[in-house]
Chains A and B, each alone.
Chain A
């Protein structure tokens, strides 16, 4: 069973602060890493993908991957109330029948208060 663990929430930050979301995974064969945002009652929406070690920045979002530590994180700078949602970490392990299958964590609920 491939485990994806996310830091327990809920996480609450003030507007303008940096929100830090963390995720660890158990399978060293994991190759692709994604962060999805899910608003209440809505479907998951992809916001970041990362495939190699290091940082990847997209606007206010930065994803960080450390395969040696089996750790992936998402930083949200200048957090806005509209960022309030559940953030899902997902990984894929491309091996045989599990090609492309996304393994999700339970999600971390983020609240940004004005």
Chain B
């Protein structure tokens, strides 16, 4: 079974530039999550999709972050404009359904904003 795929693996941009990350969840997984993990901290949820609908985006800085999951499969996360404090690893995860099921993580995208 293929895992969660993310790209790119690494990205370096200057502040105020824009960047986009892509995620392809495990086939058949209805729930998709984007997490932000700052160095030395645990992952923090940014947004959760159930199929192509947003379930929870309460922690998403909506003035600069946006995400979509067209057709309930792939998802993109965008930052525009980026700030220095956005430097982090962005993890995509998926699970078959919400609730008590396990979430499987992709390899992440390491973003450095300079």
Contact = CB atoms under 8 A, between A and B. Distances in A.
Contacts of A32: 99-100
Interface in B36-88: 40-45, 48, 50, 55-56, 58
B100 A102 contact: no
B105 A34 contact: no
Contacts of B102: 34, 46, 49
Interface stretch (A14-22, A60-68, A76-84, A91-99): A91-99
B100 A94 contact: yes
B57 to A, nearest CB: 9
Given A31-B100, A32-B100, A44-B43, A100 B95 contact: yes
Nearest to B3: A43
Interface residues on A, range: 20 to 34
How extensive is the interface on chain B, given as a class? 20 to 34
A92 B98 CA distance: 10
B3 to A, nearest CB: 9
Contacts of B112: none
Taking each of B56, B58, B93, which has the highest tally of chain A beta carbons within 10 Å of its own beta carbon?
B56
Contact of B33 (A45, A46, A51, A102): A102
Contact of A100 (B98, B106, B107, B108): B98
B105 A100 contact: no
B103 interface: yes
B98 A94 contact: yes
Interface of A: 4, 31-32, 34, 42-46, 49, 51, 88, 90, 92, 94, 97-107
Interface of B: 31, 33, 35, 40-45, 48, 50, 55-56, 58, 91, 93, 95, 97-108
